[in-house]
């Protein structure tokens, strides 16, 4: 395990308090990985600042010593974004959980980065809600959501995190504090920050838009013989001009796993389930819902279950949201993938995934945000079988390739992190990557913020102005971590 100079650690303790600077390997174990457990690294230290000022001082201290750092929210990320660097500091924002301001008249809340996604909706209920709702919303932090531009079941109708962030206070890697606002004239730097995976700075204060809660919500789950038929139903619904609040698909394997976890009564003999929710003004919602039921029937639904109470709706949703976590019930290990395809090519890409799974003799479960064409193939494996984890990784890569070949993307909402950086050249030319790099260097010329993530190969920032070029650690290669 790497260690940091004693005077540097003393400075961190002075800033955050003795208790909130961890250097002991046992205490650091919690921070070794995010939700993607395949990548592990113990940081040299972890700090748990309580305020934006403490974050700023920690970042300044790191800058003075050219120590790299990684921001961490709740550590639920699925691309290794919050993976620590061995000789760096992990800045865990979990103590910064204050809701600073609620201004419902203007549909606005101001929060600290460690506030959980769900806490925001709870704070503005019952009149308002915060739409982007990752399945991890009980625990994931809003800071992590911003860094990943997270999505969720309701993003088909309501949009992603980026559509709700209106202001950010950001600590840059030299400790400068900047305010980014959506309405400011000039380049959309706030837009650049959202989805930047902690590589441009740490968000310490976040202003969000919240929206009025819909008058009515109606939810159903329809069961089909296979994902193709369910996909046809999705197309028919969208073509009919219905805009569901959510339209989620689960295949038979994910139904089996989630049903074992929740016992909600999803049909285990079905090849696919579509969870559809309509929300809005009561009358429009009721008419739309009738049309929805009819369209599912025409597409060959085996059965349609309509939630009759809030409790039943909650149970139906809990089953969908349990899909990832419950995979452990049917497989000792699994890779979560996150690809995007044009919705119209759903059936074709699913067939290809099935064929690939057959070739590799492995099981792949599928959970989708069907409206957005955002697939989550879950590649099951058993690491006790020699070479199986590696084959699962290889199969995951081929599934991503199939998504890109179909005109889609290597990630819909989980980000690139370390896991997908090698796939970046399949989507972007060297010139595109250079443009990304120039943007990154404009925010963090020394490569101290979350090095080793997103960009596929080590890169330098070119001309770095001022005395920093002369710094010994830089000569030792810190700036080459990109």
Supply the minimum distance, in Å, between the C-beta of residue 91 and ligand FAD: 8
Question: Is 318 exposed, middle or buried, given 0-12, 13-18 or 19+ CB atoms closer than 10 A?
Answer: middle
Buried/exposed 219-231: b ≥16 CB within 10 Å, e otherwise: bbbbbbebbbbbb
Sign of CA dihedral 378, 383, 385, 387: positive
420 binds ligand FAD (CB under 6 A): no
> Could you tell me which stretch among 148-156, 213-221, 285-293, 379-387 binds ligand FAD (CB under 6 A)?
148-156
Q: Are 139 and 129 in contact (CB under 8 A)?
A: no
Question: Which residues are bridge partners to 459 per DSSP?
Answer: none
> Could you tell me which stretch among 147-155, 230-238, 296-304, 327-335 binds ligand FAD (CB under 6 A)?
147-155
Give, in degrees to the nearest 5, the angle at Cα 166 between 161 and 170: 90
- How many chain residues touch ligand FAD (CB under 6 A)? 37
- Measured from the CB atom, the residue of 113 and 371 that comes closer to ligand FAD is 113
Three-state secondary-structure class, residue 242: coil
- Measured from the CB atom, the residue of 388 and 419 that comes closer to ligand FAD is 419
Among 70, 89, 210, 479, binds ligand FAD (CB under 6 A): 70
Among 21, 22, 44, 82, binds ligand FAD (CB under 6 A): 82
In eight-state DSSP terms, residue 362 is -
34 binds ligand FAD (CB under 6 A): yes
Tokens of 217: 């919500």
77 binds ligand FAD (CB under 6 A): yes
Considering only CA atoms, give the Rg of the chain. 23
CA 413 – CA 137 distance, rounded (Å): 14
81 binds ligand FAD (CB under 6 A): yes
Tokens of 18: 């003795």
73 binds ligand FAD (CB under 6 A): yes
Supply the minimum distance, in Å, between the C-beta of residue 348 and ligand FAD: 24
371 binds ligand FAD (CB under 6 A): no
147 binds ligand FAD (CB under 6 A): yes
Supply the minimum distance, in Å, between the C-beta of residue 164 and ligand FAD: 13
> Could you tell me which stretch among 76-84, 212-220, 247-255, 440-448 binds ligand FAD (CB under 6 A)?
76-84
Q: Which residues contact 225 (CB under 8 A, 6 or more apart)?
A: 270, 271, 272, 300, 302
Instruction: Name the helix (H) or strand (E) containing 275.
Output: strand 272-280
Backbone angles phi, psi at 387, to 5 degrees: 80, -5
Among 202, 257, 316, 357, binds ligand FAD (CB under 6 A): 202
Reported in sequence order, the residue ranges of 4-116 that DSSP labels E, i.e. its strands, are 21-22, 45-47, 69-72, 89-92, 99-103, 108-111
CA 248 – CA 317 distance, rounded (Å): 10
Site for ligand FAD in 123-142 (CB under 6 A): 134-136, 140-141
43 binds ligand FAD (CB under 6 A): no
Tokens of 481: 């971590």
152 binds ligand FAD (CB under 6 A): yes
Nearest to 339 by CA among 378, 282, 391, 380: 378
- Measured from the CB atom, the residue of 219 and 450 that comes closer to ligand FAD is 450
Site for ligand FAD in 96-115 (CB under 6 A): 113
Among 189, 304, 325, 439, binds ligand FAD (CB under 6 A): 325
76 binds ligand FAD (CB under 6 A): yes
378 binds ligand FAD (CB under 6 A): no
Tokens of 6: 């004693």
- Give the binding site for ligand FAD (CB under 6 A): 34-35, 70-78, 81-82, 93, 113, 134-136, 140-141, 143-145, 147-148, 150-152, 197-198, 202-203, 324-325, 413-414, 450
């Amino acid at each position: 395990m790497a260690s940091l100079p004693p005077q540097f650690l003393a400075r961190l303790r002075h800033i955050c308090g003795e208790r909130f600077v961890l250097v002991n390997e046992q205490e650091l174990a919690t921070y070794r990985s995010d939700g993607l457990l395949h990548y592990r690294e113990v940081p040299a230290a972890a700090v748990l600042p309580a305020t934006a000022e403490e974050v700023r001082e920690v970042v300044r201290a790191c800058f003075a010593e050219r120590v790299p750092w990684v921001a961490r929210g709740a550590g639920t990320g699925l691309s290794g974004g919050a993976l620590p660097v061995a000789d760096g500091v992990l800045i865990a924002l979990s103590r910064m959980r204050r809701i600073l301001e609620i201004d419902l008249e203007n549909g606005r809340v101001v929060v600290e980065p460690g506030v959980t996604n769900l806490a925001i909706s709870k704070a503005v209920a019952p009149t308002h809600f915060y739409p982007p709702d990752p399945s991890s919303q009980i625990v994931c932090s809003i800071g992590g959501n911003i860094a990943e531009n997270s999505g969720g079941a309701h993003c088909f109708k309501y949009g992603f995190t980026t559509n709700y962030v209106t202001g950010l206070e950001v600590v840059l890697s030299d400790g400068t504090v900047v305010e980014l606002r959506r309405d400011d004239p000039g380049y959309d730097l706030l837009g650049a920050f959202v989805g930047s995976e902690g590589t441009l700075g740490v968000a310490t204060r976040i202003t969000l838009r919240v929206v009025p809660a819909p008058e009515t919500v109606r939810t159903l789950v329809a069961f089909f013989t296979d994902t193709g038929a369910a996909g046809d139903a999705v197309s028919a619904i969208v073509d009919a001009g219905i805009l569901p609040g959510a339209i989620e698909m689960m295949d038979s394997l994910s139904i089996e796993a989630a049903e074992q976890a929740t016992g909600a009564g999803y049909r285990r003999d079905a090849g696919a389930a579509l969870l559809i929710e309509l929300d809005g003004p009561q009358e429009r919602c009721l008419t739309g819902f009738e049309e929805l039921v009819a369209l599912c029937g025409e597409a060959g639904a085996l059965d349609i279950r309509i939630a009759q109470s809030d409790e039943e709706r909650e149970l139906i949703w809990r089953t969908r949201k349990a899909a990832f976590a419950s995979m452990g019930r049917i497989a000792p290990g699994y890779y979560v993938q996150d690809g995007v395809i044009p919705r119209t090519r759903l059936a074709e890409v699913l067939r290809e995934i099935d064929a690939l799974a057959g070739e590799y003799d492995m099981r792949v479960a599928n959970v989708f945000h069907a409206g957005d064409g955002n697939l989550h193939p879950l590649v099951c494996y058993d690491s006790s079988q020699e070479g199986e984890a590696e084959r699962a990784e290889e199969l995951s890569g081929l599934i991503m390739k199939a998504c890109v070949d179909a005109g889609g993307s290597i990630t819909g909402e989980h980000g690139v992190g370390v896991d997908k950086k090698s796939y970046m050249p399949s989507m972007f030319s060297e010139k595109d990557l250079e443009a990304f790099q120039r943007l990154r260097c404009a925010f963090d010329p020394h490569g101290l913020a979350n090095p080793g993530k997103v960009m596929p190969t080590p890169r330098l920032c070119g001309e770095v102005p001022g005395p920093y070029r002369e710094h010994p650690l830089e000569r030792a290669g810190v700036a080459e971590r990109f």
